[in-house]
Structure 1
Amino acid sequence: MAEVASEAVRTGDQYRIDERLGERKPFHQVVVHSLERTMRWSGVE
């Protein structure tokens, strides 16, 4: 379980960085979008 959580955290970090590299947007939108993408990646709805 810890391995899955660690992978999800790393994936979330990568999505957050990806969100920051795109068009400028408020930080809360960056967090929301990266969290949504991470949840979709991990199969959580």
Structure 2
Amino acid sequence: MDGMAGLFEGGDQGSKAASEAEITKLHAKIGQLVVERNFLAKASGR
């Protein structure tokens, strides 16, 4: 019951750090996929 208010106030620092790490990981994956798409488009003559 002590930490219940924190759930509605934006969460704790641990969950924020985990979501920041997940966002960073997803941005890196998006960048990788964009590079691969551009390479394949160039290789196929588009």
| TM-score of the two chains, using structure 2 as the length reference | 0.49
Count of equivalent residues = 25
Runs (4+) of structure 1 exceeding 6 A deviation are none
Tell me which of the two structures has the higher relative contact order, counting C-alpha pairs closer than 8 angstroms and 6 or more residues apart. 1
Give the aligned partner of residue 29 of structure 2: 11
What's the CA shift for 1:15? 0.2
- TM-score, length of structure 1 as denominator length: 0.50
Larger Rg computed on CA atoms: 2
Q: Which runs of 5+ in 1 are unaligned?
A: 26-45
Sequence identity percentage: 4
Structure 2: gaps (5+ residues): 1-18
Number of the residue aligned with 1:21: 39
CA distance in 2, matches of 1:11, 1:22: 16
